[in-house]
Structure 1
Amino acid sequence: MAIEQPFNYAYSDLELDAREGEWVESFFRDNQTPIADPAAWLSEDALPPNVLLTSVDKVVNWSRRYSMWPVTFGLACCAIEMMTMAASRFDLARFGMEIFRASPRQADLMIIAGTLTWKMAPWLRRIYDQMPDPKWVLAMGSCGVTGGLFKDSYSVVPGFNKVVPVDVYVQGCPPRPEALLQAILDIHAKVDKMSPTRKAVQP
């Protein structure tokens, strides 16, 4: 019966310890000088080009515009186009809006996509009331604007503005994702006109 020989390592433990010790010692010697304070660049000559003057309203509106979270509210066929807009081809994430919230208390934009029935209308209003201010509503599709093909039906709401105040309408059956993106840009334009420090909203 053959006796297995121990594995021959390239370096012994002592050699490895010596190499690591030399590396640590050299690193220790070369790094004794403290690194300069990062705030040292704030000299009087360098400061003016690095200062941006703006208003609080501009900063707040900018942050609202690029962190607008839609609430999930797809009712019918228009919701397919809304989901397409959130996918990689149209890339809603460019506007910081890729997070569709399941809770209305974490959302500030309601994209109502599809046909709204009177049986569903109280729940739509309830979700809208649960959203914190400021909030915006986007009516997507012909059913949201006028009731569409079903406007004469006993069970369909002839326009979302019968239930909630609508900021922007998107016509189409269904509208293309580009139209929905343009409507979102229109809402961004409305946000830019707001005055968060003053409660009055400019028209």
Structure 2
Amino acid sequence: MNREQTPSSAAGIDFNNNPLPSAGSPWIEGRFEENLIVTTLEQAMNWGQLSSVWPLTFGIACCAMEMMATGMSKYDLDRFGSGAFRATPRQADLMIVAGTVTYKMASRIRRLYDQMPDPKYVIAMGACTIGGGPYFKYGYHVVKGVDLVVPVDVYIPGCPPRPEALLEGVMRIQDKIRARKLGRNTVSQLPVPHRSGYGKLAPVVSIPSVTAPVTSNNTTEFVST
């Protein structure tokens, strides 16, 4: 700053000659030097998370093949910051449930979800994950929707969905993070570090057991207990 410049003019603000901007005019544009970014803590935290949404390595059926293809160079999931698939739930922000969810697998899904740090998100990928798919009516062993086990943020229909659909789902997750508002009432949504191994786990999902068939009146029935 030379002698002819005042502190206000050196910073690009002239409080002596320019009147205060009106309610409809911008306060930021053209009033600061270049290479200076003004933001809020809320926007900075949301930008950091939406630029590094790490999925959990979790493929349980044929939809996982399309999820693997999304991470290849042809579709390049890493350009959205989501190419770093993690092998542990404690380092993941996003669970992509890609495949058929059985009752035996349901308790494992809930346990992995509880071990993920907050804030966390879930994508239901494929018809089997969303509502049971072709096993909806006669699949006694299939959960009729993963949203009965964990809360789902984005649904991607298809059998199986294409990689472009999964990319669209990841972008919808980013939009949800970008629109997140942080305040006094949302303190619980902030990421809080916790000790590994001390997460509260969900109880194991119990399913009815099938006993030996009972024959009566020339018909065979299965009795569940």
Distance in 1 of aligned mates of 2:122 and 2:167: 14
Aligned residues: 159
| 2:175 is the counterpart of 1:189 | yes
Question: What residue number does 1:161 align with?
Answer: 147
TM-superposition CA deviations, 1:64-118 (whole Å, max 9, x none): 0011100111000000000000000000010111111010000010000000000
Q: CA deviation at 1:146?
A: 0.7
Distance in 2 of aligned mates of 1:137 and 1:78: 15
Question: What residue number does 2:44 align with?
Answer: 59
4+ residue runs over 3 A deviation: 44-47, 196-201
Partner letter of residue 143 of structure 2? Answer: V
Question: What residue number does 2:136 align with?
Answer: 151
Question: What residue number does 1:133 align with?
Answer: 118
User: TM-score, structure 1 length as denominator?
Assistant: 0.75
Q: CA deviation at 1:198?
A: 4.2
Structure 2: any 5+ residue segments left out of the alignment? 1-9, 13-31, 190-225
Q: Secondary structure at the match of 2:103?
A: coil
TM-superposition CA deviations, 1:102-139 (whole Å, max 9, x none): 10000010000000000110000000000000000000
Distance in 1 of aligned mates of 2:141 and 2:156: 22
Q: Secondary structure at the match of 1:110?
A: strand
Partner letter of residue 80 of structure 1? Answer: M
Q: Secondary structure at the match of 1:80?
A: helix
Question: What residue number does 1:180 align with?
Answer: 166
Question: What residue number does 1:31 align with?
Answer: none
Q: CA RMSD in A?
A: 1.7
Distance in 1 of aligned mates of 2:80 and 2:35: 26
Partner letter of residue 174 of structure 1? Answer: P
Partner letter of residue 189 of structure 1? Answer: D
1:56–1:197 Cα contact (<8 Å) kept: no
Structure with the higher helix share, 1 or 2: 1
Q: Which structure has the larger Rg over C-alpha atoms?
A: 1
Q: CA deviation at 1:45?
A: 6.0
Distance in 1 of aligned mates of 2:82 and 2:57: 12
Q: Select the residue among 84, 104, 108 that pairs with 1:119.
A: 104
Structure with the higher strand share, 1 or 2: 2
1:110–1:138 Cα contact (<8 Å) kept: yes
Q: Percent identity?
A: 52
Q: CA deviation at 1:144?
A: 1.1
Question: What residue number does 2:6 align with?
Answer: none
